[in-house]
Structure 1
């Protein structure tokens, strides 16, 4: 028996039933939406992430067209739900309503990847990027040409640069570190603190997998690394070594 096919109207009604104006105000401050801040103008409904994930699980078989419609929303939480739905569709292509045979898997995943890239302008805050980039972009490019990441890393748009480095988290999980190292070097002069944090986070993830290689890269570039990137990268390093690295800068 097939799962029930939900409509766009049904998911929109359920999302709106969870609105919380007080939580929305808190979220707007937390995500820096004031004039001149990195998420200026972003709008919130005040729905918690666990609830958003629950909604995405319930409506997992929503059509790709409807998911992309949700991704166009001005509401932050609706865009995040859409990204959860896209990631589910990529990870579980056999649950796509149109799925008939295994030959469709490549096509379905390519459609999700293309839809994600075509809607970069709507993936415009750090949590939206971090929840989805490595699960869709990283996974898709793992066995393909990755040169597009370097184009995005040179973008004037903060979120495209963050997508490029966070996508490599998928590679790191597969013990493949070279693109993370190369992109982090390319981004050493980035002016945005959110990029320093993202690169430092990815370098820290490499350290957790292969401390020797991570420390070798950090030692090579520690004098050039922004302070925030360096601190994030060496967070798991033993205290004595961590102080030694910081004092050298």
Structure 2
């Protein structure tokens, strides 16, 4: 039976150092940046997904070894395996993946790791559960937990459920980090793609208080005239 050690060896054998340098720069790993100190091997995402599918049968404890690995690519592959396992699991299995995922959120420390996993695992699990954990994540003094809270609502948005996205967006309006502004605007845009009137109602109440980046992301798919209206109106109120 394949082990975590087998998968780690395979990942390292595919390392691409020149690409790793460029990826590390993209994910802002320099001193004082949001990804400070993170290490990359340079595997492209299609390669990571291929490896995850091949090793999707690894026991949860074995996958956790990858999730806690110092190399970003290894954490990514491990987290993708958990999304695959979650999708095929029954209720008890889904709960186990969800709980282990949140226990390891200290290792889920960049926006790509959050975005490729939490809609499936966190949002997917809470779709039929109390949504209170999302508000607890949003209240934490931890950038990636805050991003998890709003991006997880993509699972609800896909089911036509917008209330939690709006409530969390309102909670996150005053949060200072650009990566929270982008994530919140992205989720609002996803709402607007499905229900433009719902998004417009939210904007009518909150656009003047929204950070500019959040607003621009939120209105990106609106008709040009509506985009200009919101940009001009909020400019006048600031």
TM-score > 0.5 by shorter chain: yes
Q: SS at the partner of 2:230?
A: helix
Q: SS at the partner of 1:222?
A: helix
Q: Find 1:125's aligned residue among 110, 117, 131.
A: 110
1:15 and 2:11 equivalent? yes
What displacement does 1:11 show? Answer: 1.0
1:206 and 2:202 equivalent? no
Q: Find 1:221's aligned residue among 206, 209, 230.
A: 206
- Partner residue of 1:45? 41
Q: Find 2:53's aligned residue among 52, 57, 60.
A: 57
Consecutive unaligned residues in structure 1, runs of 5 or more: 94-104
Separation of aligned partners in 1, 2:142 and 2:221: 30
What displacement does 1:8 show? Answer: 1.9
Separation of aligned partners in 2, 1:168 and 1:109: 17
Separation of aligned partners in 2, 1:207 and 1:9: 44
Q: Find 1:175's aligned residue among 140, 160, 163.
A: 160
The superposition leaves residues 100-134 of structure 1 with CA deviations (integer Å, 9 ceiling, x where unpaired) of xxxxx222111101100100100010000000011
Consecutive unaligned residues in structure 2, runs of 5 or more: none
What displacement does 1:9 show? Answer: 2.3
How many equivalent residue pairs?
Answer: 234
Q: SS at the partner of 1:61?
A: coil
- Partner residue of 1:193? 178
The superposition leaves residues 37-67 of structure 1 with CA deviations (integer Å, 9 ceiling, x where unpaired) of 0010000001111100000011110111100
Separation of aligned partners in 1, 2:176 and 2:71: 28
Separation of aligned partners in 2, 1:7 and 1:184: 41
What displacement does 1:138 show? Answer: 0.3
- Partner residue of 1:78? 74
What displacement does 1:185 show? Answer: 0.3
Matches of residues 18-167 of structure 1 in structure 2 within 5 Å?
Answer: 18-93=14-89, 105-167=90-152
Structure 2 length-normalised TM: 0.97
- Partner residue of 1:244? 229
- Partner residue of 1:230? 215
Separation of aligned partners in 1, 2:143 and 2:4: 31
Structure 1 length-normalised TM: 0.93
What displacement does 1:14 show? Answer: 1.1
